[in-house]
Structure 1
Amino acid sequence: MKVGIMGLPQVGKTSVFRLLTGNGVTAKGRAGIGVASIPDDRLDRLSEMYRPKKTTYATLTCIDTEAFSPGEGVPRFLNGLQDADALIQVVGGIVAEDPAAQLMAIQEELALVDWGLLDTRLERLRKEGRRVQTNGLELSLLERARSALERGRHLRTMEFSDEERRLLQGYSLYTMKPLIVAVNVDDEASLEEYPGKEEIARWADEQAVTVVPLAAQLEWEVAQLPREDQGAFMRDLGLSELGILRVARVVYTQLGLISFFTVGEDEVRAWTIKQGATARKAAGKIHSDIERGFIRAEVVSYHDLIELGSMAKVKDAGLLRLEGKDYVMADGDVVSFRFNV
């Protein structure tokens, strides 16, 4: 799961990258890549129960792209975004920086790039249509998508059939990717009120975008404290949770992701899968051999395991289920896979 981070110069883009990943500044002109571990209270509780040698959190790969300077020609920051599953645009939330104008500077550029790609492909399809039978579905689909961009509508807001989505996925269109607007403010008071808030919220609602205010520098400082001391400082800042959790929750929701857990004395681990994934697909997330040789999954809900206190009590209560390959995984499932290869 990859998230690309973009923004204008001096808006705190790299501060947000550091908050999410713990990594510092990278060489100028190069995209920084870091891995964010996603805190999960459920995993912490399971780790307390099993006391494993290792606890492994779900992760989010973050790409800190080069800052975008309007008028530079083909934006270099796009190089780090093409393979991203979701995008984060950082805007500086102070009066002098006009957050709404920052937002539109990049979003208009992304829409223009998508429009150009679609227009070029449409022209090629029409030329090929004189010699070979053109794919009518693709032609009408691209015309509809291009028309939407011309009306100022981003493609993530449109309804597409499964077949249409498969066709569009090959183009890696930026305005189809889930987008989070991270408004980076200087102090805790500005998390609730910042310049351009209503304008940004209105645009975000129209374009199916989520806005997440962050005080990246302050939250980074809190994140460096011992975990037992973080709560008091977060309450002083009016925060219920740190930025990585707020961002991860939005990414999971927008990408349709859930977590399942594997437990044992060696390792307690969180795994990320698509909502609707089957037990066999989830097994493949761990190893392809487990997917190929899948026999069954032994499943208990996280809440049942925590409430009863041990796997032995779960079995005694008859709450450990044996599920086949087509079982649809639920968020919070604790699973042991049986397989033979």
Structure 2
Amino acid sequence: MADRLAIIGFPFSGKTTVLQAACGIGREHLHAGGESGEHIGTLKHEHDPRLLRLAEIYESRKLTPLTLELWDFPGFDLTTEPGRQHARRLLAEVRQCDLLVIVLRAFENPSVPQYRDRIDPAADLDELMEEFVFADMDQLSRRIEKLEQQQKKPSPTREQEKKEIALLKRCLEALEAGQGLHEVVHGAEEDKMLRSFALLTQRPCVVIINVDENRLGQEFALKPHPMVRSSLVCAVEYERQLQELSDEDREVFLSEAGITELLADRLAEAAMSAMGRIRFYTAGDNEARAWPLGAGISAVEAAGKIHSDIARGFIRAETIAYADIDALGAVKEARSAGKLRLEGKDYVIKDGDVIFFRFNI
């Protein structure tokens, strides 16, 4: 199952345009599939340089790139109480996503209304982050209240509930003080306890600063937030319009604007890094494919991502580091140079490993 990315922001920030530009879809093909009318699209990291190089080396007939699922949520209007309540309901769905993609408006367009009559990406980011804190504080407070009521009655889980109350109060105090929760959550047990809440302030974020094409070289000063792993400055509407051109014409306009990498590829790389994901590859004459994994995954677990039978009958993983096969240009040369390794079930997959799984069932 592909990782799910929530595209969020204020009205008129360009969220839906981000979805269109990243997924290569026109407005007429937008698919509303969520409970609240979210538009859903699939981002394909088709220009993954490692995948393209492996397809060249192995002469693969087919390429299967990394895919990410993008959910474009309705804009959060926090200027009215009904709008704020609607945003809170949307945030309940946003919590189920693996990464937040926050779109901030920095473009001028008289035909597009301005949220709060301003174009101020730094202020917009601070306001969104503040709303995440309030939403998490509300969730933690309600849980604490419920647990404290339960403490008045004898229960076999009483001691565990005491631990949870202490942790949640510590987190609540941290949020009130503007601290990141990573500063007050200690050990695997507390981390697991808190994970079930899917707190917004623990979700990694990638920020997209949506600009006019003539402001692509500009730097934007944003207040540091623990959740924000990276920020991308992108002329989103410009890239969306270029999709309507031929490949040749598109390259000309990209070059003129100084764009060397498309939003889809930049977002895919930024998202993988922010989520702590790695990639391993399988390659042959039939197909070259990228497989996303969490860090610390064993070879037999990685085999199971491909097919449960491969994990069940696992014998070994024939492994070559991407850097080695890229430099040597062929599997035969990599084997001759001693770069092909035979790894067992417990081998921890590294980013860029090219693997052929041997199995028997």
Instruction: Give the TM-score of the pair, scaled to structure 1.
Output: 0.90
Regions of 4+ moved over 6 Å:
none
* Structure 2, unpaired ranges of 5+: 109-117
How does 1:71-90 map onto structure 2 within 5 Å?
71=81, 72=83, 73-75=85-87, 76-90=89-103
Structure 2 CA distance for partners of 1:290 and 1:254, relative to 1, 3 Å: same
The match for 1:287 is 307
- Does 1:183 pair with 2:209? yes
Report 1:258-337 matches (<5 A).
258-337=278-357
Q: Distance in 2 between matches of 1:211 and 1:31?
A: 23
Does the aligned pair in 2 maintain the 1:128–1:134 contact within 8 Å?
no
Aligned residue number for residue 165 of structure 1? 191
| Aligned with residue 48 of structure 1, among 51, 56, 59 | 56
Question: Share of identical aligned residues, percent?
Answer: 36
| 1:338 alignment partner in structure 2 | 358
8 Å Cα contact 2:205/2:227 also seen in 1: no
Q: Structure 1 residues 224 and 269 mapped into 2: Cα distance closer, same or farther (>3 Å)?
A: farther
**1:120 aligned to 2:163?**
no
How many residue pairs get matched? 335
Does the residue aligned with 1:35 lie in a helix, a strand or coil? Answer: strand
**Structure 1 spans left out of the alignment, 5+ residues:** none
Deviations 1:302-333 (A, max 9, x none): 12222222222222222211000111111111
Report the counterpart of residue 105 of structure 2 in structure 1: 92
Question: 8 Å contact 1:156–1:208 — kept in the other structure?
Answer: no
* Native 8 Å contact 1:67 1:77 kept in 2: no
The CA distance in 1 between the partners of 2:346 and 2:58, in whole Å, is: 29
1:203 equivalent in alignment to 2:230: no
What's the counterpart of residue 107 of structure 1?
A: 129
Distance in 2 (CA, whole Å) between partners of 1:130 and 1:22 is 56
| 1:19 partner amino acid | A
Equivalent of 2:12, from 10, 13, 36? 10
| Structural RMSD (CA) | 2.2
Please give the per-residue CA displacement for 1:270-329, whole angstroms capped at 9, x wherever unaligned.
101112211111111111221222111000111222222222222222221100011111
Deviation per residue, 1:184-215 (Å, 9 max, x gap): 1122424424xxx32x2x233x5554222111
Offset from partner CA, 1:42-92 (integer Å, 9 cap, x none): 111111222323110011111111111113214243254121111011111
C-alpha separation between the residues in 1 aligned to 2:284 and 2:264? 27
TM-score (norm 2): 0.85
Relative to structure 1, is the Cα distance of residues 85 and 160 closer, same or farther in structure 2, using a 3 angstrom cutoff?
Answer: farther
